Chain A
Amino acid sequence: MLWNSLLLAVRAIRRNVLRSVLTILGVVIGVSAVIIMVTLGDGATQSVKDQITSLGSNLLVVRPGQRLGPGREPARAPNFKAEDAEAIASQIGSVAAVAPTAGINVTVVYFADNWSTNVTGSTSAYFTSGNWRLASGRFFNDTEERAGKAVCVIGETVRKQLFGTQDPVGSEIRVKRFACEVIGLLKSKGNSFGMDADDIIVMPLRTVQRRVRGSDDVTGLQVSVKDGASRTHTIDAINALMRERRNIAEGEDDNFSLVDTKQIAETLSSTIRVMTMLLGAVAAISLLVGGIGIMNIMLVSVTERTREIGIRLAIGALEHEVLMQFLIEAVALASFGGVIGMVAANLISVAAADAIKVPFLFNPRINVLSFVFAALIGVIFGYFPARRAALLDPIEALRYE
């Protein structure tokens, strides 16, 4: 019975190919819109996660001062000392490494070229906690760090500005009033959140403190948490330790702040997820409109095929058989549209993901879901025309011109 109805439906679709194609166009567009939105949304989420990972996975950043919100001046807060970093590293077991940082914007010079960039002083732990890789040369070692040697590792952007395509390793650049040897070139990380991560020069902490900033202050602490350790416990422990070291009385506000990169990644991802869902919902409405297109054409088809329906009824077709025939025809059309939409959507998503530079992630769930939704729309919007066909009076249908 079902098989027969399917056979009849396929015959009817085959008899009018052009119209069948036009009928399903709405569903094709609807299904592809939903899949493209969600697929690109997934890609964007993944891209955010990748960018956070490139900043350093499992990274906690401690800064002096409290972000109090818009309109409120941050209270003046003292900077950290190098000893704060040592205390965190030695007293909190779940911490893998702590890199104290001291940053400052200065103009650096190489022959006739100069470039204003961020000079960051830190220890060798900075490179591991920040997920940095080398393109050439080497990082500085503990001896150079302790001695405050005039060596530096530069980012890709700095190289481009000062050296062009040349290998900078072994050259000397001028920072303020001293010459600094370039010993390494960092592998490019690209943009992250609109900021150029490669616009950076890293030197030993001591070198920056003595020769660039002129103070032994530390302006930030980058803490990497051991794999598998509890982040919340680590954050609580760091907060408690820093309050103690900075002599903050009970009930008083912190004069430092702690940022959890993973937390940011999760917040951003969930924001994108909500956006994706909204866009997907809008796209789903277009799928609904596609369903109305199917109903429209099915109604025309029922009117046009009144004689055919009359013949079928006269020959002994039962109401529910005619109903099933038209319903299955609608569902077959809608499902066919769903399949075409699915294929088109994934092809378009690959191209679009490439164009907006997010990864293409095939999402089987949304593919199956939109296909089922399309078929369901066939049932819902096919039912009314099918019922109309089934309830025709055979004699009048036969007489219909």
Chain B
Amino acid sequence: MSTDRTVAGSPRPLLELRGVTKVYGQGRAAFPALRGIDVTVQEGEFVAIMGPSGSGKSTVMNILGCLDTPTTGSYLFRNTRVELLSRRQRALLRRHYLGFVFQGFNLLARTSAIENVELPLLYRGEPFRQRRSSARAALASVGLDAWETHAPAELSGGQQQRVAIARAIVTHPALLLADEPTGNLDSQRGREIMELLAALSREQGITVLLVTHESEMARYAKRVIHFVDGFVDSDHRNGGSA
């Protein structure tokens, strides 16, 4: 899938959006949620996306997550044009390269935390023992070692969010997309999650893109992109000062 034409030493782009638009609905009801986005993200970056409600943050995340396709424009993931891939190829891309933390938690109800975290590994066809130990490690890394057998209904919002993160990182994805991972947490818990994501980016080289409303959380990122009305309003580096 990846065509490595990297010049040694220089960072290579993991993903590129070129003139991406997204129009919901048709005719009079047509609503342009994205109106021409150009963004390039290098391997290993830690990017925060901010912007008012309805500015198209979730829409762009869905496109980056290969769940949705742009109306016009092009999305390159490691130089592969995602919008040209088949449904099956996009599913395989999600399976092998992406981790997604949804705006809602989107955990399987009445299913234990560990089984939820195992799910992506199940589809990768990993054997049971390996699956269990990876899932256990992922849950431990979000501080939920003691909650493995609890179903989502028996967990607090913050704990559910952390299960969702564990599920997204258990496969060691190339790209971790998190849509408001701290939206439901108090600021203390929120900071913990952000530190966790920062550590993942730093230690495992995972590229992290997250959406947040809170500038306090955005400070953990190396780069902040502001969305307004379906446009990129500003795109600047934090300069490492957290």
A contact set with B: CB distance below 8 Å: 1, 4, 7-8, 11, 15, 307-308, 310-319, 321, 394-395, 398
A-B residue pairs in contact (CB < 8 Å), sample of 13 = A11-B111, A15-B111, A314-B94, A315-B95, A315-B123, A316-B92, A316-B96, A316-B120, A316-B124, A317-B91, A317-B95, A395-B68, A398-B102
Residue contact B62 to A395, C-beta cutoff 8 Å: yes
Point out which of A11, A316, A317 has the most chain B C-beta atoms below 10 A from its C-beta.
Answer: A316
Contact A315 to B62, CB < 8 A, known contacts A1-B125, A11-B115: no
Taking a contact as CB atoms under 8 Å apart, the answer to whether A395 and B88 are in contact is no
Contact among B67, B100, B107, B123 with A317 in the assembled complex (CB-CB below 8 Å): B123
Residue of B nearest to A399 (CB): B104
B92: chain A residues within 8 A (beta carbon): 316, 318
Q: How far is the CA of A11 from the CA of B98 in the complex (A)?
A: 26
Tell me if A394 and B123 are in contact (CB < 8 A): no
Other than the given A311-B106, A314-B102, 8 more pairs (CB < 8 A) read A7-B122, A8-B122, A11-B111, A308-B108, A315-B167, A316-B92, A316-B120, A394-B67
Q: Are B68 and A312 in contact (CB under 8 A)?
A: no
Please give the distance in Å from A321's CB to the nearest CB on chain B: 6
Selected contact of B65 from candidates A1, A8, A312, A314, CB within 8 Å: A314
Which range contains the number of B residues in contact with the other chain? 20 to 34
Q: Which residues of B contact A4 (CB under 8 A)?
A: 122-123, 125
Q: Which residues of B contact A398 (CB under 8 A)?
A: 67, 102, 104, 106
Please judge, given known A-B contacts A395-B67, A395-B68, whether A319 and B87 are in contact too, CB under 8 Å. yes
Residues of A within 8 A of B124 (CB): 316
- B95 close to A316 (CB less than 8 A): yes
B123–A321 CB distance below 8 A: yes
Q: Which residues of chain B have C-beta atoms less than 8 A from A1's C-beta?
A: 125
Q: Contact check, A313 vs B108: say whether CB atoms are below 8 A apart.
A: no
A213 to chain B, nearest CB (A): 87
Task: Please report the C-alpha to C-alpha distance between residue A321 and residue B94 in the assembled complex, in whole angstroms.
Answer: 15
Inside 8 A of A318's CB, which chain B residues have their CB? Answer: 88, 91-92, 95, 123
Considering the complex, give the chain A residue whose CB is closest to the CB of B62: A395
User: Which of A11, A316, A319, A395 contacts B123 (CB under 8 A)?
Assistant: A316
In the complex formed, the residue of A with least CB distance to B126 is A4
Interface centre among A315, A321, A394, A398 (most CB of B within 10 A): A315
Complex CA–CA separation, A315 to B164 (angstroms): 11
- Closest Cβ of chain A to B70, distance in Å, is 13
In angstroms, Cα B151 to Cα A15, docked, is: 12
Chain B contacts of A7 at CB under 8 A? Answer: 122
Of chain A, the residue at the smallest CB distance from B98 is A316
Q: B119 on the interface (CB 8 Å rule)?
A: yes
Q: Choose from B91, B98, B110 the contact partner of A15 (Cβ within 8 Å).
A: B110
B110 and A315 form a contact (CB under 8 A): no
Chain B min CB distance to A87 (Å)? 84
Residue numbers of B with Cβ under 8 A of A are 62, 65, 67-68, 87-88, 91-92, 94-96, 98, 100, 102, 104, 106-111, 115, 119-120, 122-125, 167
Would you call the interface of chain A mostly helix, strand, loop, or mixed?
helix
Closest A residue by C-beta to B115: A11
User: Would you call B87 and A315 a contact (CB within 8 A)?
Assistant: no
B65 neighbours in A (Cβ, 8 Å): 314
Contacts of B109 in A (CB 8 A): 308
Minimum distance in angstroms from B89 CB to a CB of chain A? 10
- Whether the pair B119, A312 counts as a contact (CB closer than 8 A) is yes
- Whole-angstrom distance between the alpha carbons of A312 and B119 in the complex? 8
- Distance to closest chain B CB from A185 (angstroms): 73
CB distance from A14 to the nearest CB of B (A): 9
Closest B-chain residue to A391, C-beta based?
A: B87
Give 3 closest A-B pairs by Cβ, nearest first: A316-B95, A316-B94, A15-B110
B68, B94, B115: the one within 8 Å of A315 (CB): B94
Q: In the complex, which residue of chain A has the Cβ closest to the Cβ of B93? A: A316
- Give the most central of B65, B87, B88, B124: most A CB within 10 Å: B87
Taking CB atoms, residues of chain A closer than 8 Å to B102 are: 314, 398
- A317 and B122 CA atoms in complex are apart in Å by 9
**Nearest CB of chain B from residue A86's CB, rounded to whole Å:** 85
- Bound together, the chains give a CA A103 to CA B83 distance in angstroms of 98
Contacts of B68 in A (CB 8 A): 395
**Residues in A whose Cβ lies below 8 Å from that of B120:** 315-316
Residue in chain A with minimal CB distance to B124? A316
* Inter-subunit contact B111/A307 (CB<8 Å): no
Q: How far is the CA of A350 from the CA of B119 in the complex (A)?
A: 47
Question: Once the chains bind, are B91 and A313 in contact (CB under 8 Å)?
Answer: yes
The reply to whether B108 and A311 contact each other, CB–CB distance below 8 Å, is yes
The chain A residue with its CB closest to the CB of B106 is A311
Please give, as numbers and ranges, the residues of chain A lying within 8 Å of B95 by CB-CB distance.
315-318
- In the complex, chain A residues whose CB is within 8 Å of the CB of B125: 1, 4
Q: Within the complex, what minimum Cβ distance (angstroms) separates A50 from chain B?
A: 56
Query: Which residues of chain B have C-beta atoms less than 8 A from A317's C-beta?
Result: 91, 95, 123
Which residue on B lies nearest to A1, using beta carbons?
B125
Report the separation of the CA atoms of residues A15 and B122 in the bound assembly, to the nearest whole angstrom: 19
Shortest C-beta distance, A170 to chain B (Å), equals 82
**Set of chain A residues within 8 Å of B87, measured between Cβ atoms:** 319
CA distance A7 to B111 in the complex (A): 13
A15 to chain B: which residues have CB within 8 Å?
Answer: 110-111
Q: What B residues does A307 contact at CB under 8 A?
A: 106
**Max chain A Cβ within 10 angstroms of own Cβ: one of B91, B96, B124:** B91
Interface centre among B67, B124, B167 (most CB of A within 10 A): B67
Could you say which residues of chain B place their CB within 8 Å of the CB of A313?
91
- Cβ contacts under 8 Å, A311 to chain B: 106-108, 119
Min distance, Cβ B216 to any Cβ of chain A, angstroms: 28
- Min Cβ gap A306→B in Å is 12
Nearest chain B CB to A77's CB is how many angstroms away?
A: 84
Complex CA distance for A310 and B94, rounded to whole angstroms: 13
B26 to chain A, nearest CB (A): 16
**What's the minimum C-beta distance from B108 to chain A, rounded to whole angstroms?**
6
